[in-house]
Amino acid sequence: MKEQIHQLLHNVGPGKMSNLAYDTAWVARLGEIDWGLSSQALNWLCENQLPDGSWGAEKSFYYHDRVISTLAAMIALTYHGRRAQDKKQIEKGLLALEKITSGATKGLQADLNGATVGFEMIVPTLVAEAERLDLIQRQAESILGQLSEQRKIKLGLLKGKMINRHITAAFSTEMAGKDGQDMLDIDNLQEINGSIGHSPSATAYHALFVNPGDKAALSYLNKYVDGGGGVPDLIPFDVFEASWVLWNFSLIKNWDNQIKSLFQPLIEFLKQGWNPNKGIGLSVGYSIPDCDDTSVVYEVLSRFGEPMDINTVLAFEENEHFRTYYLEANSSNSVNIHALGALRQAGMNSASPSVQKVLSFLKKKQIANAYWFDKWNLSAYYTTSHAIIASAGFANELVAPSVEWIISTQREDGSWGWQFPTAEETAYCLQALIMWLHQGGKVPKTTLQKAVMWLADHMEPPYPPLWIGKGLYTPELVVRSAILSALFLAEYE
């Protein structure tokens, strides 16, 4: 395992992530702008249509991911499809979309996990375009048509603000479509690397409609398209990757000097990216800091003996919770859990007003007095496991039922999984249970043994996508580090 940890740490960089059909579909639309990019992306779409005719994550079924990916893929193939086979794929996509949305009111509006990023902003624009292309019939009374009302509410939150690189809506600028560019502050939209919000789909939209043929945008896309023509949900995400990898490994205390030396460059990288009183974002080149990355980086640097100023984390504090970003419509459970971890690491006790605020928020959000969902990950096991780790020995009364819930929901083979068994979710649960043990809690030895045996046999990729962006994705090194961390922790139990 040490050899695998060495290799993983050497590979941490701009970010390694699975490709998304949604973003790839936008790149596929660049036919008149960059035929090389477009043709590769079209080939990727044609090769990655799912058996039921939809596009999106193959194994993890998620309404929002399938709807937005299928719509985007069909539009791209309608504009630039070249063969009779492409038309057949569009027809299959239409049938799949109709099946997904016909009974999807509950899934699209009441799903506990929430929508994919920008869903209610982007889908109405895609629907309008698909209607103009006669791909789909008018959707006014359907679930897809009703999303237009949610879009109006979300736009109202901007209160007349122009969308630029300092507002999170930049990540979803394609929502503006061909006719809504008056909401874009075009001169202040692009990041230094040529992207719009580090988003391939938003950047492709920019190069297609906002500033056609923009050289910096096309350079960014050409840099990050993979050999098969696919692109990820966001790139680079160097801070996110480095900090979550280090967070997983920081749970282990007995590293040898050789591995500690491999941690050091990543620690220095995070220290250099830290902006006092503002925090840090998903990448050092990204204009918007957020509480999630800021809290995790604070906790990681503190655990490795490099504490920063906790006031930077406290800058994200609101009246009843910690926000992820400014203008955030829905608060995040995992962000508040990571803020709790940072506050605890800073030496605040459980009676601190800020700590009490988070604990009260999490108690209100807890489902069945046992677990939490979140808007950044499909699985309740991710959020709940991180809550246990943040609270064990600190706020036991909050998470003791969660520990019992995890133990009781272990599958017979030793694994865990919300939809089906996964190495990622099993690793999270194993981490949480071992950290609970370290703080004096009790866990049946057979629970751990079965989990370790299953995880050791299923630790190799590919890992099904469970993380929520504009679609479902896998941050591959982050997941890998959680698996190695869990197995390494178990080895010393």
Do residues 276 and 326 touch, judged by C-beta distance below 8 A? no
What DSSP line would sit under 463-482, residue for residue? Answer: ----EESSSEE-BHHHHHHH
Q: What is the pLDDT of residue 150?
A: 64
Q: What is the pLDDT of residue 439?
A: 96
CA pair distance 63, 144, nearest whole angstrom? 12
Residue 337 in 3-state DSSP?
Answer: helix
Q: Do the first three CATH levels of 21-224 and 238-491 match, i.e. the same topology?
A: yes
Q: Alpha carbon of 60 to those of 44, 420, 422, 466: distances in Å?
A: 19, 8, 10, 7
Q: What is the pLDDT of residue 112?
A: 40
For the chain, the domains span: 21-224, 238-491
Q: What is the pLDDT of residue 311?
A: 98
CATH number of 238-491: 1.50.10.20
CA pair distance 270, 313, nearest whole angstrom? 15
End-to-end Cα distance, the chain: 16
Residues of the chain with pLDDT under 50: 107-113
Q: What is the pLDDT of residue 369?
A: 96
Which residues fall within 8 angstroms of residue 35, CB to CB, at 6 or more apart? none
CATH number of 21-224: 1.50.10.160
Do residues 40 and 225 touch, judged by C-beta distance below 8 A? yes
| CA dihedral over 398, 404, 409, 415, signed as positive or negative | positive
CA pair distance 444, 449, nearest whole angstrom? 9
Q: What is the pLDDT of residue 107?
A: 47
Which residues fall within 8 angstroms of residue 107, CB to CB, at 6 or more apart? 63
User: What is the pTM (predicted TM-score) of this model?
Assistant: 0.95
Q: Alpha carbon of 402 to those of 334, 368, 391, 439, 451: distances in Å?
A: 15, 10, 11, 15, 17
Q: What is the pLDDT of residue 185?
A: 96
Residue 415 in 3-state DSSP?
Answer: coil
pLDDT in tens, 208-244: 999 999 999 999 999 999 999 999 999 999 999 999 9
Do residues 58 and 92 touch, judged by C-beta distance below 8 A? no
Residue 342 in 3-state DSSP?
Answer: helix
Residue indicated by tokens 């080895």: 491
CA pair distance 429, 447, nearest whole angstrom? 10
